[in-house]
Amino acid sequence: MSSGVIVAGAGPAGRALVHRLVRAGVPVTLVDPNPERVWRSTFACWSDELPDWIDSAAFAARMDRIGVAGRGLEEVARGYTVFDTPGLQRSLSVDGAHVVASRVSEIDGARVHLDDGTVLTADAVVDCRGALPHDAPRQTAYGVVVDEAAAAPVLEGHQALLMDWRGGAEDRRALPSFLYVVPLGGGEYLLEETCLAGYPALGLDELQRRLENRLGGMPTDIRRVEHVAFPLTGSSPQPWRDRPFCFGAAGGFKNPTTGYSVATSLMCTDAVVAALAAGQDPTRALWPTATRAVHNLRLRGLSALLRLSPSQTVAFFEAFFAMPIPAQRAYLSDRGDLTGTMGAMTRVIKAVDMRTRTVVARGAMAKPSWAGDTAGTPL
């Protein structure tokens, strides 16, 4: 039985892991330079990705369907959840853990060196500090929070919009962007212009300009502004080889097609807790061969996506969301469904025109500079 775990990082993945370790009776120390900092980002996920232990107070809005627009506006009949970010943070209580407000300068095996010279030791160390800055495609977004009246014309009668590719860039050759609109609770809505993936990605100034153009001018009553910019890949192309063990965005849990990682981290938390409580390395539980293969396929999918023209990108996502929900779920949510992932990719490729099909195939086969040694390397 483990006698102690150190978790570095108090973001959603780290805090969730500490929360569940405490409840499993495992002694745990949480290290973060500002462990009580208030989270500001908007988090969302497909509802069927969530474990059943998440408190309902963590949810701002839940819907059975969500709009997706390519050339026309359709709905995807799959449940979607928007987190109440402060509620999620509060629900992941770390009471019962030893909390150290300090910055980690180095992790050396089971020894954690802090920037004040202190050295902490434990049976196991988990790095949850997020995907540290590195050369990789990025997702960027510029959003404004408004009231329901300002959001209603954009929603066109829908509860939320996952991707609205209509509008965006004036130059048809430019990197595309889409509008994302979700309720945040309390009558507030986020309207966000998003660059799904770029290498380099669109800058925030350009996204702000596009959002203003799309809306015909910025709303007069903007309650707050949200900026998004993060790498779409983990710090390592093969996170199962990382030492110490990394969890969350730091450990390759971010889906490179969507940028989502929070729900996956929450769903995998108990598997990590079980391994740590038994004194085992969680890598074996979280990264079996099929999961590694899916991870590599998703990186190849990102490489292909980056090569598409704006019109091909729209056609690609129209084909994707026209698939049955189980096929969509296999690619977007299931880390270990190799057959389903390959099947979904094949269905999309067959549904697009030959030119797009060729671009996707070449992109998937090429070895991108940012993927390190992932493509074509042993699992």
Q: Can you read off the two tokens belonging to residue 343?
A: 């099947």
CATH architecture of 1-35+94-132+233-287: 3-Layer(bba) Sandwich (3.50)
pLDDT higher than threshold 80 for residue 321: yes
Average pLDDT, the chain: 92
Lowest mean pLDDT, pick from 37-41, 307-311, 351-355, 369-373: 369-373
Q: Can you read off the two tokens belonging to residue 229?
A: 């910019």
pLDDT band at 352 (very low <50, low <70, confident <90, very high): very high
- What's the pLDDT score for residue 374? 45
- What's the pLDDT score for residue 371? 63
Give dist(CA 34, CA 99) in Å, integer: 10
- What's the pLDDT score for residue 230? 92
- Give residue-wise pLDDT tens across range 301-318: 999 999 999 999 999 999
- What's the pLDDT score for residue 43? 97
Region 345-365: what's the mean pLDDT? 89
Q: Can you read off the two tokens belonging to residue 44?
A: 């969302």
- Give residue-wise pLDDT tens across range 68-87: 998 888 999 999 999 999 99
- Give residue-wise pLDDT tens across range 36-59: 999 999 999 999 999 999 999 999
Give dist(CA 272, CA 285) in Å, integer: 8
pLDDT band at 378 (very low <50, low <70, confident <90, very high): very low
pLDDT higher than threshold 50 for residue 202: yes
Decide if 349 contacts 362 (C-beta within 8 A).
Answer: no
Give dist(CA 251, CA 39) in Å, integer: 20
- Give residue-wise pLDDT tens across range 228-253: 999 998 878 899 999 999 999 989 89
- What's the pLDDT score for residue 377? 43
Region 336-347: what's the mean pLDDT? 94
- What's the pLDDT score for residue 361? 84
pLDDT band at 3 (very low <50, low <70, confident <90, very high): low
CATH number for the 39-91+137-231 domain, one of 3.90.320, 3.30.9, 3.90.25, 2.60.120? 3.30.9
Domain ranges of the chain: 1-35+94-132+233-287, 39-91+137-231, 289-366
- What's the pLDDT score for residue 102? 97
